[in-house]
Every structure is written in structure tokens, then in C-alpha cells.
Amino acid sequence: MLGQRRRTGGIRWLPILLFGGYFLYYYFANQSEVPLTGRTQLVDITRDQEMSLGYQAYQEVLQTERVVRQGPLAQQVRGIAIRLIEAVRKLDPKADPGFEWDVNVIESPQANAFAMPGGKIAVYTGILPITANEDGLAAVMGHEIAHAIARHGAERMAYQKLVQMGSMAAGMAMSDMDPGTQRNVMAALGAGSKYGVLLPFSRDHESEADRLGLMFAAAACFDPTEAPRLWERMAAASKGAPPEFASTHPSHDTRIRQLNEWMPQALKIREQYCGNR
């Protein structure tokens, strides 16, 4: 038909080359370092921006949930958080970038806890039967504090931005292909990004938070050997978990194995800071 664009089936390389150049610039211009581990990470927002985003999200949660602000449980959770944050500073005075830490307990059957960017922490009462004791709760909270200290949220946003821009570049590069081929290739690229980049990346974050959280708990004089037992209880309480390759988190078996591998270092840290306590 006259005026209809002809589909040649070829790839337009200019969008790919432009994206490749931007990727290299973006990656090397936004390098940062994870405290304590020394891992190089990609972060493209300032700490102030990160703290602002975390504060906004935290306030939305507090406005929609039942918050336990007073009582023995709230005091216990805040006391554990204070010990863990002090431990972070003992291990590396520069690790805490001046977050305005805030800790709340949420009355909910969810077995959950989180730490928002900027140091906003919440513990759901539904996780308490699984934590079972103060050491188990410290393992969970140390893990969440590690996510905030390591800026995992900001790093995840940066990689998601790159994946989105890569998808746009791929779509432009294949604009001359027939629609069916385009859909098939984009679907394959989407699956590759999800299972080959984003999910493994998320699991690496969880493992890093497990390791840092274990060290925080040890330096705060909690019993680090409770951490693998916690994940044994978590495994018993979980139902229908997806296979590890399709999950944002390592399997329970992987987490238990890794925690046991890191345990000698954790015990050494506990002895250094706590002696026989």
C-alpha cells in the first residue's frame, strides 16, 4: 500500500549504540561503595533524596496500619534497634550516614518487617512467633537495618531504570521488524532481564543483608547462632514458596547454609565486642 512503512526485518543499531554509550557513562558516573563489605554499587540519587522517599513511604504505611506506640513490646523492639544501630557505628563509624532512625511496631498477622531508606523501621507482630526470642528478633531487624545501611532500595531503582531504558532502546532497534517477531523478541528480552538480572540482583541484596545483619547482631551482643535457627522456623512456617530462580529471595536452605558459613566471623566479632556477655 502506498505510504505504508515497509518492514525489512533488520535491526537498527543506532539506538543500541546510543544506549551502550549512555550505560557506560551512567554506570561509571554513579559509583558508590557499600559500607563494611566494600562492594561497588550503582546509586544515582543523593542520601537526602533517598531519606525523603523513605519518609514519605513510611508515613503512608503508618497512616494505614495499626501502630503499637507504647507498651513492653514497643519498648523491646526500640531497645533492640538502638543496640543494633550502635553496633553499626562500632563496626564502621561511617556506615550510618546520619539517618533519622525511627522504629514502630505494627499490629498485623503479617510475618514481616522492613527498614525504609533513611532508617524508618517497622516490625509486624505476625513475625514474633517465628522470631521466638530476642535474638531471633535481632536477626530479623539487623537484616532490615542492613538493607537501609547498604542503600539497597536506591541501588535497585538505578538498575530498574537501566533495564527500562534498555527495553526502550531494544524496541526502537527492532521497529523495522514485523509485529509478531517484535513481540517474541521483546518477551524473550523481558524474561531474560527478569530471571537473568533483576531477580538474581535482588537475591544478592538479600544475602548481603543477611551477612551484614548477622555481624550487626553479633556486635550488639545478641546470639548470632539464632539466625540460622530463625530461618529453619521461617521455612517451617512458609507454604508454597517459588523455586529460588523465580524468587526475589534466596531459598531458606541457601540462607541457612550461608549464615553457617559466615558464623565464625560473627562469633569472632561477638567475642571482640562482648567478651563473655
d(CA 71, CA 12): 64
Cite the active site residues: 144
SS3 label, residue 116: strand
d(CA 275, CA 277): 6
Q: What is the pLDDT, as a whole number, of residue 249?
A: 87
Q: What is the pLDDT, as a whole number, of residue 55?
A: 93
Q: What is the pLDDT, as a whole number, of residue 206?
A: 94
Which parts of 33-71 fold into alpha helices (H)? 47-64
Sheet with 113-116, edge to edge strand ranges: 67-68, 102-106, 120-124, 113-116
Measure CA of the first residue to CA of the last residue in the chain; give whole Å: 84
d(CA 15, CA 174): 10
Q: What is the pLDDT, as a whole number, of residue 136?
A: 97
Q: What is the pLDDT, as a whole number, of residue 173?
A: 75
d(CA 205, CA 207): 5
List, run by run, the mean pLDDT of 10-residue segments along the chain (277 residues): 49 80 85 91 91 93 94 96 95 86 95 91 96 96 95 90 81 76 73 74 92 97 97 87 75 95 97 87
DSSP state of 252: H
Identify any residues that bridge with 32 across adjacent strands, giving them in sequence order.
41
pTM for the whole structure: 0.86
